Amino acid sequence: MNSRTQEAMAGGRLSAPMRHRIEVMTRAVAGIGGGYVLSSLCAAALALFLPLARAESVITGTLASFVIYTCAVMWAFAARSAAWAWGGLAAPAVPLAIALWLRLGGAS
């Protein structure tokens, strides 16, 4: 973070281009990082919970995960605000993570 940013933040208000840049950064992290986490969770959950043969579920989950990833990235940049972007990704990710954790014996 450069001094200009710090100054601006100290003032409580950011300049428009700087706000734009931070906005983009936040959304990029949400889309790329958060999107990958969400699609990984979906791949794992589909692989575990689909009522198919094991290999079939694994393949289906992994095939679907790339579609989910694409949608997640687009969501991250389409959402009303960066907070919405993160929230929209977390909403499905958290229950999936809990379900996976319970199933994989995280309680033990």
Partner 1 sequence: MKDGFRQSMAWLHTWSGLLVGWVLFMVFLAGTSAYFRDEISFWMKPELHAVARAAATSQPLAASAAVNFLQAKAASSPRWTVDLPSSREPALRASWAGPPAPRASGAPGASPPQRRGRQESATLDPTTGERMETPRQTRGGDFFYRLHFDLHYMPARWGRWIVGVCAMFMLVAIVSGVVTHKRIFKDFFTFRPKKGQRSWLDAHNATAVLALPYHLMITYTGLVTLMFMYMPWGPEVVYKGDQRTYISEVFPSSNAAGNAPRSTAPAPLRPVAEMAQAASRAWDSAPIARMVVSNPNTAGATVTFHRHDTGSLSSIQAAMVFDGATGALLSHFGDDLPAASQTRGVLYGLHLGRFSAPLVRWLFFLSGLAGSVMVATGLLLWAVKERQKFAKALAKGGRIGFGLRLVDGLNITAVAGLPLAMAVFFWANRLIPAGLAGRADLEIGVFFGAWALCASAGLALPTRRMWQLQIGIAGALLALVPMLNPLTGGAGLWTSMAPGLWRVAGFDSSCLMIGAALLVAARTIGVRKPAGARKRVQIDAGRSAATHGASKETEGLLTSPDSLSAAKVPR
Interaction pattern, residues 67-106, with partner 1; x per rule: CB under 8 A: x-xx--xx--xx-xx------------------x---x--
Alpha-carbon span 104 to 108, nearest angstrom:
9
Among 6, 25, 54, 98, contact with partner 1 (rule: CB under 8 A)? 54
Torsion, CA 81, CA 84, CA 86, CA 90, rounded to 10 = -170
Alpha-carbon span 56 to 35, nearest angstrom:
24
Q: Would you say 7 or 56 has its CB closer to partner 1?
A: 56
Among 14, 52, 90, 97, contact with partner 1 (rule: CB under 8 A)? 52
Alpha-carbon span 89 to 53, nearest angstrom:
29
The CA–CA distances, whole Å, from 50 to 44, 67, 107 equal: 10, 17, 22
Reading the block at residue 88, the tokens are 């929209």
Applying CB under 8 A, which part among 7-15, 34-42, 91-99 lies near partner 1?
34-42
Structural contact between residues 60 and 46, judged by C-beta atoms closer than 8 angstroms: yes
Q: Would you say 5 or 40 has its CB closer to partner 1?
A: 40
Where does this chain bind partner 1 (CB under 8 A)? Answer: 16-17, 20, 23, 27, 39-41, 43-44, 46-48, 52-63, 65-67, 69-70, 73-74, 77-78, 80-81, 100, 104
